[in-house]
Structure 1
Amino acid sequence: MINTIDKIDPVEFPEVVEVWEASVRATHHFLKEEDILFFKPLILKEYLKAVDLACIRNQSGKILGFMGVAEGNLEMLFIHPDARGKGIGKTLTQHAIRQMQVTKVDVNEDNGQAIGFYEHMGFQTVGRSELDGAGKPYPLLHMALKATH
Protein backbone atom coordinates (compact mmCIF):
# COMPACT_ATOMS: atom_id res chain seq x y z
CA MET A 1 0.00 0.00 0.00
CA ILE A 2 1.33 3.42 -0.96
CA ASN A 3 0.51 6.00 1.66
CA THR A 4 0.34 9.39 -0.06
CA ILE A 5 -0.40 12.45 2.04
CA ASP A 6 -3.34 14.48 0.74
CA LYS A 7 -5.18 17.66 1.71
CA ILE A 8 -8.69 17.63 3.12
CA ASP A 9 -11.36 19.92 1.68
CA PRO A 10 -13.84 21.41 4.19
CA VAL A 11 -16.69 19.70 2.31
CA GLU A 12 -15.11 16.42 3.48
CA PHE A 13 -15.39 17.32 7.20
CA PRO A 14 -18.41 15.01 7.72
CA GLU A 15 -16.34 12.08 6.35
CA VAL A 16 -13.44 13.10 8.62
CA VAL A 17 -15.79 13.05 11.62
CA GLU A 18 -16.94 9.54 10.63
CA VAL A 19 -13.30 8.38 10.68
CA TRP A 20 -12.79 10.16 14.03
CA GLU A 21 -15.84 8.49 15.58
CA ALA A 22 -14.97 5.01 14.30
CA SER A 23 -11.40 5.41 15.57
CA VAL A 24 -12.48 6.73 18.97
CA ARG A 25 -15.00 3.94 19.45
CA ALA A 26 -12.28 1.37 18.63
CA THR A 27 -9.51 2.85 20.81
CA HIS A 28 -10.89 5.23 23.46
CA HIS A 29 -12.78 2.71 25.60
CA PHE A 30 -12.43 5.00 28.61
CA LEU A 31 -14.75 7.62 27.06
CA LYS A 32 -18.43 7.59 27.90
CA GLU A 33 -21.07 7.74 25.15
CA GLU A 34 -22.06 11.25 26.24
CA ASP A 35 -18.44 12.37 25.82
CA ILE A 36 -18.35 11.12 22.23
CA LEU A 37 -21.65 12.91 21.56
CA PHE A 38 -20.23 16.05 23.24
CA PHE A 39 -17.07 16.11 21.12
CA LYS A 40 -18.59 15.09 17.77
CA PRO A 41 -20.15 18.48 16.87
CA LEU A 42 -17.11 20.32 18.25
CA ILE A 43 -14.84 18.30 15.96
CA LEU A 44 -17.05 19.07 12.96
CA LYS A 45 -17.77 22.75 13.62
CA GLU A 46 -14.66 24.01 15.45
CA TYR A 47 -11.67 21.71 15.90
CA LEU A 48 -11.14 20.75 12.23
CA LYS A 49 -11.07 24.43 11.22
CA ALA A 50 -8.43 25.19 13.87
CA VAL A 51 -5.73 22.87 12.50
CA ASP A 52 -3.81 22.14 9.31
CA LEU A 53 -5.30 18.86 8.12
CA ALA A 54 -3.81 16.07 6.07
CA CYS A 55 -5.00 12.56 5.29
CA ILE A 56 -4.28 9.28 3.58
CA ARG A 57 -6.91 7.85 1.25
CA ASN A 58 -7.59 4.49 -0.33
CA GLN A 59 -7.59 4.01 -4.12
CA SER A 60 -11.20 5.18 -4.39
CA GLY A 61 -10.50 8.40 -2.45
CA LYS A 62 -12.02 7.39 0.89
CA ILE A 63 -10.18 8.84 3.90
CA LEU A 64 -8.47 6.07 5.90
CA GLY A 65 -6.75 8.27 8.46
CA PHE A 66 -6.12 11.92 9.17
CA MET A 67 -4.14 14.30 11.34
CA GLY A 68 -4.42 17.90 12.42
CA VAL A 69 -1.46 20.11 13.34
CA ALA A 70 -1.31 23.53 14.99
CA GLU A 71 1.72 25.47 16.27
CA GLY A 72 4.07 22.48 16.40
CA ASN A 73 1.51 20.25 18.13
CA LEU A 74 0.03 17.10 16.65
CA GLU A 75 -3.49 17.94 17.79
CA MET A 76 -5.24 14.93 16.30
CA LEU A 77 -4.33 11.64 14.66
CA PHE A 78 -7.10 9.17 13.94
CA ILE A 79 -7.05 6.05 11.78
CA HIS A 80 -10.19 4.15 10.76
CA PRO A 81 -10.19 0.80 12.61
CA ASP A 82 -10.32 -1.11 9.31
CA ALA A 83 -7.08 0.61 8.24
CA ARG A 84 -5.05 0.23 11.43
CA GLY A 85 -1.72 -1.57 11.29
CA LYS A 86 -0.98 -0.55 7.71
CA GLY A 87 1.52 2.24 8.42
CA ILE A 88 -0.93 5.11 7.99
CA GLY A 89 -0.39 6.58 11.46
CA LYS A 90 3.38 6.22 11.09
CA THR A 91 3.37 7.91 7.67
CA LEU A 92 1.21 10.80 8.90
CA THR A 93 3.30 11.27 12.04
CA GLN A 94 6.58 11.23 10.12
CA HIS A 95 5.14 13.81 7.71
CA ALA A 96 4.02 15.95 10.66
CA ILE A 97 7.53 15.84 12.17
CA ARG A 98 9.49 16.32 8.96
CA GLN A 99 7.26 18.67 6.99
CA MET A 100 5.12 20.45 9.59
CA GLN A 101 7.69 20.91 12.38
CA VAL A 102 5.69 18.95 14.96
CA THR A 103 7.58 18.45 18.22
CA LYS A 104 4.73 17.84 20.71
CA VAL A 105 1.61 15.76 21.19
CA ASP A 106 -0.88 15.34 24.04
CA VAL A 107 -2.22 11.82 24.61
CA ASN A 108 -4.99 10.54 26.85
CA GLU A 109 -3.27 8.79 29.75
CA ASP A 110 -5.75 5.91 29.43
CA ASN A 111 -4.86 5.31 25.76
CA GLY A 112 -1.94 2.95 26.22
CA GLN A 113 -1.75 1.99 22.55
CA ALA A 114 -1.32 5.63 21.53
CA ILE A 115 1.31 6.23 24.20
CA GLY A 116 3.29 3.23 22.97
CA PHE A 117 2.92 4.39 19.36
CA TYR A 118 4.23 7.88 20.11
CA GLU A 119 7.10 6.51 22.19
CA HIS A 120 8.00 4.30 19.21
CA MET A 121 7.87 7.43 17.01
CA GLY A 122 10.43 9.18 19.24
CA PHE A 123 8.29 11.08 21.75
CA GLN A 124 8.69 10.98 25.52
CA THR A 125 6.42 12.12 28.33
CA VAL A 126 7.41 15.53 29.68
CA GLY A 127 4.33 16.46 31.71
CA ARG A 128 0.78 15.59 32.74
CA SER A 129 -2.55 17.36 33.17
CA GLU A 130 -5.46 16.06 35.25
CA LEU A 131 -8.05 17.38 32.76
CA ASP A 132 -8.25 17.26 28.99
CA GLY A 133 -8.42 20.37 26.80
CA ALA A 134 -12.21 20.58 27.25
CA GLY A 135 -11.89 20.44 31.05
CA LYS A 136 -13.13 16.86 31.27
CA PRO A 137 -11.59 14.41 33.78
CA TYR A 138 -9.43 12.53 31.26
CA PRO A 139 -5.78 13.05 32.21
CA LEU A 140 -3.41 13.96 29.40
CA LEU A 141 0.24 13.11 29.02
CA HIS A 142 2.24 15.86 27.36
CA MET A 143 4.83 14.29 25.07
CA ALA A 144 7.72 15.88 23.18
CA LEU A 145 10.15 14.61 20.61
CA LYS A 146 13.37 13.42 22.18
CA ALA A 147 16.31 15.67 21.36
CA THR A 148 18.34 14.25 18.51
CA HIS A 149 22.04 14.95 18.26
Structure 2
Amino acid sequence: MLTFRPSTDKDLPRVMEIWRRAVDATHHFLAPVDKSAIEAELMEFFPQVSLQLSVDAADIPQGFMFLHDGHLEALFIDPDQHGQGIGKAFISRAIAAHPELTADVNEQNPEALAFYEQVGFVRTGTSSHDGQGRPYPLIHLRHQSPM
Protein backbone atom coordinates (compact mmCIF):
# COMPACT_ATOMS: atom_id res chain seq x y z
CA MET A 1 0.00 0.00 0.00
CA LEU A 2 1.30 3.43 -0.94
CA THR A 3 1.53 6.14 1.67
CA PHE A 4 1.74 9.81 0.77
CA ARG A 5 2.74 12.79 2.87
CA PRO A 6 4.07 16.32 2.48
CA SER A 7 7.82 16.83 2.53
CA THR A 8 9.75 18.28 5.45
CA ASP A 9 13.22 19.79 5.62
CA LYS A 10 14.65 16.44 6.72
CA ASP A 11 13.55 14.88 3.41
CA LEU A 12 15.76 17.07 1.19
CA PRO A 13 18.78 14.71 1.04
CA ARG A 14 16.60 11.76 -0.01
CA VAL A 15 14.57 13.90 -2.44
CA MET A 16 17.79 15.02 -4.12
CA GLU A 17 19.03 11.42 -4.21
CA ILE A 18 15.81 10.37 -5.96
CA TRP A 19 16.18 13.26 -8.41
CA ARG A 20 19.82 12.37 -9.20
CA ARG A 21 19.08 8.66 -9.62
CA ALA A 22 16.01 9.32 -11.80
CA VAL A 23 17.86 11.85 -13.96
CA ASP A 24 20.82 9.47 -14.36
CA ALA A 25 18.39 6.75 -15.48
CA THR A 26 16.25 8.82 -17.87
CA HIS A 27 17.84 12.15 -18.80
CA HIS A 28 20.91 11.00 -20.76
CA PHE A 29 20.51 14.04 -23.01
CA LEU A 30 21.40 16.58 -20.30
CA ALA A 31 24.84 18.16 -20.63
CA PRO A 32 26.81 17.73 -17.37
CA VAL A 33 27.02 21.51 -16.88
CA ASP A 34 23.23 21.80 -17.20
CA LYS A 35 22.62 18.87 -14.85
CA SER A 36 24.84 20.54 -12.23
CA ALA A 37 23.10 23.89 -12.68
CA ILE A 38 19.63 22.32 -12.38
CA GLU A 39 20.69 20.42 -9.26
CA ALA A 40 21.93 23.66 -7.65
CA GLU A 41 18.65 25.39 -8.54
CA LEU A 42 16.63 22.55 -7.01
CA MET A 43 18.71 22.56 -3.81
CA GLU A 44 17.59 26.16 -3.32
CA PHE A 45 14.02 25.70 -4.57
CA PHE A 46 12.85 22.47 -2.92
CA PRO A 47 13.22 23.72 0.69
CA GLN A 48 10.87 26.59 -0.18
CA VAL A 49 7.96 24.43 -1.36
CA SER A 50 5.93 21.49 -0.15
CA LEU A 51 6.49 18.39 -2.24
CA GLN A 52 4.18 15.40 -2.11
CA LEU A 53 6.13 12.27 -1.23
CA SER A 54 5.42 8.59 -1.62
CA VAL A 55 7.03 6.81 1.31
CA ASP A 56 7.66 3.17 2.14
CA ALA A 57 6.76 1.43 5.43
CA ALA A 58 9.88 2.91 7.05
CA ASP A 59 8.79 6.43 5.95
CA ILE A 60 11.63 6.63 3.40
CA PRO A 61 10.64 8.64 0.31
CA GLN A 62 10.45 6.60 -2.91
CA GLY A 63 9.20 9.37 -5.19
CA PHE A 64 8.01 12.95 -5.19
CA MET A 65 5.66 15.26 -7.04
CA PHE A 66 5.38 19.04 -7.17
CA LEU A 67 2.21 20.75 -8.41
CA HIS A 68 1.77 24.47 -8.98
CA ASP A 69 -1.44 26.08 -10.21
CA GLY A 70 -2.72 22.89 -11.86
CA HIS A 71 0.60 22.15 -13.57
CA LEU A 72 2.74 19.13 -12.76
CA GLU A 73 6.14 20.75 -12.32
CA ALA A 74 8.00 17.64 -11.16
CA LEU A 75 7.40 13.90 -10.89
CA PHE A 76 10.39 11.75 -10.02
CA ILE A 77 10.41 8.16 -8.82
CA ASP A 78 13.44 6.24 -7.59
CA PRO A 79 14.42 4.02 -10.55
CA ASP A 80 14.37 0.97 -8.25
CA GLN A 81 10.63 1.63 -7.81
CA HIS A 82 9.72 2.16 -11.49
CA GLY A 83 6.79 0.00 -12.56
CA GLN A 84 5.36 -0.26 -9.04
CA GLY A 85 2.45 2.14 -9.60
CA ILE A 86 3.87 5.12 -7.70
CA GLY A 87 3.81 7.45 -10.71
CA LYS A 88 0.25 6.45 -11.61
CA ALA A 89 -0.86 6.99 -8.02
CA PHE A 90 0.70 10.46 -8.00
CA ILE A 91 -1.05 11.30 -11.28
CA SER A 92 -4.40 10.08 -9.89
CA ARG A 93 -3.97 12.31 -6.85
CA ALA A 94 -3.03 15.29 -9.03
CA ILE A 95 -5.99 14.79 -11.38
CA ALA A 96 -8.38 14.52 -8.43
CA ALA A 97 -7.26 17.99 -7.38
CA HIS A 98 -6.81 19.41 -10.89
CA PRO A 99 -8.94 17.66 -13.55
CA GLU A 100 -7.38 19.79 -16.32
CA LEU A 101 -3.85 18.94 -15.15
CA THR A 102 -1.04 20.02 -17.46
CA ALA A 103 2.56 18.84 -17.65
CA ASP A 104 5.65 19.23 -19.79
CA VAL A 105 7.99 16.43 -20.79
CA ASN A 106 11.39 16.60 -22.40
CA GLU A 107 11.19 15.56 -26.04
CA GLN A 108 14.35 13.49 -25.53
CA ASN A 109 12.69 11.41 -22.77
CA PRO A 110 10.46 9.00 -24.72
CA GLU A 111 9.85 6.76 -21.70
CA ALA A 112 8.31 9.65 -19.77
CA LEU A 113 6.21 10.69 -22.76
CA ALA A 114 4.91 7.14 -23.11
CA PHE A 115 4.02 7.09 -19.40
CA TYR A 116 2.07 10.35 -19.59
CA GLU A 117 0.20 9.27 -22.71
CA GLN A 118 -0.62 5.93 -21.07
CA VAL A 119 -2.24 7.72 -18.12
CA GLY A 120 -4.40 9.94 -20.31
CA PHE A 121 -2.36 12.97 -21.32
CA VAL A 122 -2.53 14.37 -24.85
CA ARG A 123 -0.07 16.62 -26.62
CA THR A 124 -1.04 20.27 -26.84
CA GLY A 125 2.12 21.89 -28.20
CA THR A 126 5.88 22.12 -28.10
CA SER A 127 8.64 24.52 -27.10
CA SER A 128 12.20 24.56 -28.39
CA HIS A 129 13.62 25.29 -24.93
CA ASP A 130 12.85 24.29 -21.35
CA GLY A 131 11.39 26.69 -18.79
CA GLN A 132 14.83 28.03 -17.90
CA GLY A 133 15.73 28.74 -21.53
CA ARG A 134 18.00 25.74 -21.97
CA PRO A 135 17.97 24.07 -25.41
CA TYR A 136 15.96 21.01 -24.35
CA PRO A 137 12.69 20.84 -26.33
CA LEU A 138 9.50 20.26 -24.39
CA ILE A 139 6.23 18.61 -25.30
CA HIS A 140 3.28 20.28 -23.55
CA LEU A 141 0.56 17.94 -22.28
CA ARG A 142 -2.93 18.17 -20.80
CA HIS A 143 -4.81 15.39 -19.09
CA GLN A 144 -7.87 14.39 -21.02
CA SER A 145 -10.60 12.80 -18.96
CA PRO A 146 -12.19 9.72 -20.51
CA MET A 147 -15.48 10.44 -22.29
Same fold (TM over 0.5): yes
Q: Which residue number corresponds to residue 32 of structure 2?
A: 33
Q: Which residue of 2 aligns with 1:75?
A: 73
Aligned identity (percent) is 36
CA contact (8 A) 2:120 2:145 kept: no
Q: Give unmatched runs, 5+ long, in structure 1.
A: none
- The change in CA–CA distance for 1:48 and 1:110 in structure 2 (over 3 A counts) is farther
1:4 aligned partner: 3
1:86 to 84, 103, 110: 84
Q: CA deviation at 1:102?
A: 5.6
SS at match of 1:36: helix
Aligned equivalents of 1:143, 1:9: Cα separation in 2:
29
Aligned to 1:14: 13
Gaps of 5+ in 2: none
CA offset at residue 114 of structure 1? Answer: 0.6
Once the two structures are TM-superposed, the CA of residue 49 in structure 1 deviates from its matched residue by 2.6
State the match for 1:141 in structure 2.
139
Q: Which runs of 4+ in 1 moved over 6 A?
A: none
Opposite residue 141 of structure 1, the aligned amino acid is I
TM-score by length of 2: 0.93
> Number of paired residues?
147
Secondary structure in 2 matching 1:137: coil
RMSD: 1.5
TM-superposed deviation, 1:99: 2.9
Cα gap change, 1:48 to 1:116, in 2 (>3 Å): farther
Aligned 8 A contact 2:3 2:56 in 1: no
1:33 maps to a residue whose letter is P
Deviates more, 1:62-71 or 1:101-110: 101-110
**How high is the TM-score relative to the length of structure 1?**
0.92
Task: Find the counterpart in structure 2 of residue 120 from structure 1.
Answer: 118
- Call closer, same or farther: CA 1:32–1:77 in 2, change over 3 Å: same
